[in-house]
Structure 1
Amino acid sequence: MDIVIRNGALITGDGKAFHKRATVYVKDGRIADIQIGNAGTSDEIAARTIIDATGCIVIPGIINAHAHGCICGPSMPSGSPPLSADDIAYFRNRHLLQGTTTLLNVCGLAMADEVYSGGEIHHQMDIRVSTAHTLKNIQAALAVDGRGLSVPHLSATIDEMLASGAVALGEVGGGQTLGGGAQDYRFIPEAVLRETGVEVTPATARRLKDAVLGRFLDQAGGMSDPMLEDELEHAGLSTHVTTERIREIITRSVMPSVALSLDGFDEIAEEAERVGYSAIFHNAAPSAKRLSAVVEKHPNARIVAGHSNHPSFLPDEAVSIALDLRSKGAVIDVSTLDCISTQWRNDAANLDALIDVGCVDTISTDFAGGHWDGILEAIHRMVRKEQLSAQAAVALATGNVAAVFPQMAGDRGLIEKGKRADLAVVDHVNLSRVRHVVIDGRVAVRNGVPV
């Protein structure tokens, strides 16, 4: 045997199985055998690597199917320039140390060969890309930024991308193109700073955006001038900009890409139905109605409603919209964002509401401006709050994700004989504490340190 993991408890990833004691055998990158209870010692003695999981639980490696910032190509659905090499390395290692073994970077407009830069050593995680290369999605990116896009990005097709290694479609829409989180933490603050010389926080940017455009970006929920003046006073902007001018700034930052991005929903749904790959959609207050119509119109497309706990929803809205989408066949994904422990801009109210009604299929991180909380942090919280059993919670990030994205993860996500040996060994008291990680049958993290 190459690796034997012994003396630990075992959660297989199917949502049901939990064994108090088991031994997992790994050979040639695959799970060679699993023995429940006390195992023999002959194979253990012959193993090249023995991992003692006493006091720990062995789980499948986390499959994160909605992340950003981990590839060297254009970033985000806005087609922005790539992030710095230091940031990319940092984000990759954070995911790895949070137990992630497979990661789908859903910026959507990078090429499949842009996961790495030339000559860069491949990371231990299996990092894949998605594709949103349709006319309206590219136009939406150009309307808000697009400075990272070149001729190959602009001319690529869905079929070409899938043939070259993309494993899913999307993300359709995004915080940049549909007035979401990236407008709060990046584009609106940049626009306000240019116009006024005043730096505003993401929370202030969100309040100003909602005050001008409303949560649904229809302006019907926007504030009157006196109320907006109060918001400007609260933000320290009343002496720097008029209500009329702030309306212009916010509208110019947010709205040019919105209609284009929503039209991109139909394009990607049609493509998903045609090619049979899963497609990830931006589910938020401004896009929920369009997404519901798209799911209904394309029943044969496997549509994933991304971050269905989006902060633009009120908790009751998040639940009613998710229930509607699920009844029509959509997969309901939630994201940790920064709502578990960081709580930079978001809290867990919407996540809790969806978990409590049993309306969650998968969990991811998304990006949250680079401040996302780990998936296992959310899983530990669900178990501690007795919202879900450990088995059911772990399945949201392992076996369930593998079933939704078979082209990416059909050979992993479960601890069973013959599956790819992607495993994490976590503390049995706090599931978010990752001790060891095995990827494709090789130790990638040992005692909390990347190997």
Structure 2
Amino acid sequence: MDTLIVNGSLITGDGITFLERASVRIRGSKIADVTTYQPAANEGERVIDANGSIIIPGIINGHAHGCIEGPSMPSGTAPCSTEDILYQRNRHLMSGTTTLLNVCGLATPDEIGRGELASHALDVQVTTAHTPSSIAAAQVSDGKGLAHHHLTATIDDMISLGARALGEAGGGQTLGGGAQDYRYLPQAIEAATGVAVHPKIARLFKEAVLGRRLDGSGAASSEAIDDLIHHYALENHLTVEGLRRIVVETVMPPVHLAMKGLEEIAVQSHRLRLAAIFHNAAPTASILVRLAETYPRARMIAGHSNHPMFLPDEAVATARLLKERGVTIDVSTLDCIATRWRNGPDNLDALAEADLIDTLSTDYAGGDWDTILSAIQRMISRKQMPAPRAIALATGNVASAIPELAGDRGFIDRNKRADIVICDAHNFAHVRHVIANGRLVVENSRIL
């Protein structure tokens, strides 16, 4: 059995431990030993000298999309192409992710991937959201990727076939979130007017017509909407009533069904005691608080709790209410760290500074997600938390929140699965090496 030794400074994933000088010995797919000194290598043992760098557990991304061959998103959209799936998987792997939970929810476990996808080093698993209202919401909003076996599947069926968790309950397509901003609303506006609008403008239009909670509270007056149309020089293409019609007809049809789907998923989580990922945003916040109170045995994870439909103080207040009720608070990088095409870091920063974050993921952000380690680096450099705690958000904490996905990894400890990342000590977002299941798969920032 081949032995690989990694020497360097070590963060173990428990949120506490940092070892200035350590050695990790890997045999096969497992960590054989961790020492606080660096013994001489035996003949035939390969050594990676990472002194001057940081050794951390492989990142566990508990909320992502776009990495499987089945229906995409909670809307049951047509699957991504194999080329796009490989692109997304390679990006995740090269940024230090070794385990990923694809939470689109309506694919089946056998659609994780075939051929080149099946042999990919990134360990991809799926969730299930096969409840009546969740499926109906997908059919109303899109549903072009749904076949008979998706429509007739049940949660029990999918769990027996290997789905690791429940969800995502609700989504940006079905609950007026980001996918409406970057995809559906721009498409509808362009179809009606011939004018392409930026997703940020689509979001402004959506919130002006419906309010951030989609219930009309906080909606703008007709005069304010007219001013918005003129501000973006669309007065020759849109009227106030025309814009209202487009927004309402595009955003609202699946919302009621998706809201019902939230409770159906909570019921199943309560029954099965499985982790369940929920769409947490301004329209769903109060519902999630109620569900946490009503179904105390449900293992609820509030996904993307830094959602841009929240104001920062709302994100903090909602997270605090949910956390007090036993809900795991997940935040997502979205495109808010480096890209900032549509989203900014204010909500993430507010949650970090309030010490409310349990886990850290990417979500999808139209494929423009920033890396998890870039968010971790931001938290460390802004002194929002020390490095071991920040690393734990995407390693040990995820393993503890979803042991069905990652109970054998997330920590650098004896007998754990050998998923290890080596990154620069001064910038954790710079990944040098990735070891997945005991095999070196990224070396000097190149996929092997």
Band of TM-score, shorter chain: over 0.9
Q: Which residue of 2 aligns with 1:281?
A: 278
1:242 aligns with 2:233: no
Using a 3 Å threshold, how does the CA distance of structure 1 residues 3 and 445 change in structure 2: closer, same or farther? farther
Q: Which residue of 1 aligns with 2:28?
A: 28
Of 235-244 and 262-271, deviating more is 235-244
Q: Which residue of 2 aligns with 1:14?
A: 14
Which residues of 2 match residues 331-370 of structure 1 at below 5 A?
331-370=328-367
Q: Match of 1:171, SS? A: strand
Which residues of 2 match residues 185-224 of structure 1 at below 5 A?
185-224=182-221
Alignment coverage as a number of residue pairs: 448
1:122 aligns with 2:119: yes
Task: Show CA shifts across 1:371-396 (max 9, x none).
Answer: 00000000011111111100000000
Q: Which residue of 1 aligns with 2:56?
A: 59
Q: Which residue of 2 aligns with 1:156?
A: 153
In the alignment, is the contact (CA less than 8 A) between 2:75 and 2:174 conserved in 1? yes
Q: Match of 1:140, SS? A: helix
Q: Which residue of 1 aligns with 2:302?
A: 305
Distance in 2, Cα, partners of 1:118 & 1:433: 30
Q: Which residue of 1 aligns with 2:144?
A: 147
Taking only the aligned residue pairs, the percentage that are identical comes to 54
Q: Which residue of 2 aligns with 1:391?
A: 388
Q: Which residue of 2 aligns with 1:233?
A: 230
Q: Mark the runs of 5 or more structure 2 residues left unpaired by the alignment.
A: none
1:406 aligns with 2:421: no
Distance in 2, Cα, partners of 1:436 & 1:419: 19
Which residues of 2 match residues 312-323 of structure 1 at below 5 A?
312-323=309-320
Distance in 2, Cα, partners of 1:177 & 1:393: 32
Distance in 2, Cα, partners of 1:2 & 1:349: 47
Q: Which residue of 2 aligns with 1:171?
A: 168
Q: Which residue of 2 aligns with 1:260?
A: 257
CA RMSD of aligned residues (A): 1.1
Distance in 2, Cα, partners of 1:128 & 1:30: 20
- Runs (4+) of structure 1 exceeding 4 A deviation are 118-121
Distance in 2, Cα, partners of 1:236 & 1:369: 26
Q: Which residue of 2 aligns with 1:80?
A: 77
Distance in 2, Cα, partners of 1:207 & 1:123: 40
Using a 3 Å threshold, how does the CA distance of structure 1 residues 440 and 118 change in structure 2: closer, same or farther? closer
1:444 aligns with 2:447: no
Return the offset for 1:120: 4.7
Q: Which residue of 1 aligns with 2:431?
A: 434
Task: Show CA shifts across 1:223-257 (max 9, x none).
Answer: 11111111111223211121111101000010011
Q: Match of 2:308, SS? A: coil
Distance in 2, Cα, partners of 1:119 & 1:325: 41
Return the offset for 1:274: 1.2
Distance in 1, Cα, partners of 2:347 & 2:355: 13
Distance in 2, Cα, partners of 1:441 & 1:118: 21
Q: Match of 2:262, SS? A: helix
Return the offset for 1:5: 3.5
Return the offset for 1:50: 2.0
Task: Show CA shifts across 1:37-66 (max 9, x none).
Answer: 2x22143x331x321112111100000000
Distance in 1, Cα, partners of 2:294 & 2:232: 43
Using a 3 Å threshold, how does the CA distance of structure 1 residues 319 and 55 change in structure 2: closer, same or farther? same
Q: Which residue of 1 aligns with 2:128?
A: 131
In the alignment, is the contact (CA less than 8 A) between 2:212 and 2:283 conserved in 1? yes
Distance in 1, Cα, partners of 2:75 & 2:117: 25
Task: Show CA shifts across 1:309-363 (max 9, x none).
Answer: 0011111100000000000110000000011011111111111111101100000
Distance in 2, Cα, partners of 1:25 & 1:229: 66
Q: Which residue of 2 aligns with 1:329?
A: 326
Q: Which residue of 2 aligns with 1:41?
A: 40
Distance in 2, Cα, partners of 1:379 & 1:5: 26
Q: Match of 1:294, SS? A: helix
Alignment counterpart, residue 69 of structure 1, candidates 44, 66, 71:
66
Q: Match of 1:130, SS? A: strand
Counterpart residue type for residue 46 of structure 1: G
Distance in 1, Cα, partners of 2:118 & 2:160: 23
Distance in 2, Cα, partners of 1:75 & 1:3: 39
Return the offset for 1:276: 1.8
Using a 3 Å threshold, how does the CA distance of structure 1 residues 22 and 118 change in structure 2: closer, same or farther? closer
In the alignment, is the contact (CA less than 8 A) between 1:303 and 1:331 conserved in 2? yes
Q: Mark the runs of 5 or more structure 1 residues left unpaired by the alignment.
A: none
In the alignment, is the contact (CA less than 8 A) between 1:15 and 1:395 conserved in 2? yes
Return the offset for 1:36: 0.5
Q: Match of 1:256, SS? A: coil
Q: Match of 2:223, SS? A: helix
Task: Show CA shifts across 1:69-118 (max 9, x none).
Answer: 00111000000000122211111100001100000000000010101146
In the alignment, is the contact (CA less than 8 A) between 1:134 and 1:158 conserved in 2? yes
In the alignment, is the contact (CA less than 8 A) between 1:3 and 1:441 conserved in 2? no
Distance in 2, Cα, partners of 1:235 & 1:200: 9
- What TM-score does the superposition give when structure 1 sets the normalisation length? 0.98
